[in-house]
Structure 1
Amino acid sequence: MPVKVMIPTPLRPYTENKDSVEVEGQTIDEILSNLALKYPQLKRHLFSEDGRLRNFVNVYVNEEDIRYLDGGDTKIKEGDVVSIIPAIAGGNFQEKIF
């Protein structure tokens, strides 16, 4: 069953600039694996060298974080939408002292 996967702007160059793609799979792990097979350049941005999902990559099913569901084993049903959301961090805060 194909599932719609939403691709964030920073990762679109690796999916032919598509904002969403259709990927087969019944669980999040299957979907992400198939996504990496379909778009090989995307793999290093999603997975570490040991094959685990990178810590800064958040995955949602219908706006629910998979960390609060069944993680990679989260089952997908027809009509579900998977979103990949990279965590954003950084910046530099310096307190001005007068």
Structure 2
Amino acid sequence: MSGFLFVLAIDYGMKQTIKDHESGIRWKFTTKLEDLDFADHLALLFSKFQRIQLKTDKLQENANKMGLKINTYNTKVMCMNTTNNNPVKLNEKEPGDIDTIT
């Protein structure tokens, strides 16, 4: 798949994922930042821990509809300022946790 078509597919998948469940971090007074895209990587952003599993499941569903798969081996979870230790599951697997990102 060409890079441009891949970016369009990712953008469409994210729009479908967040259309009913905006849960990103406050960016400006009236807007939220939902995700960061880096070439073939996607960083989902959350302001509340409870929304992580819902958004992850919805993204997985939308990716499957487009014939894309989320690589569970390369998926990582980074939590900041939370005491919640509930695991996030992706394809019935728990992705690893990280403390820093480069």
TM-score for the superposition, normalised by structure 1: 0.30
Q: Which has the larger radius of gyration?
A: 1
Relative contact order, higher structure (CA 8 A, sep 6+): 1
Greater fraction strand: 1
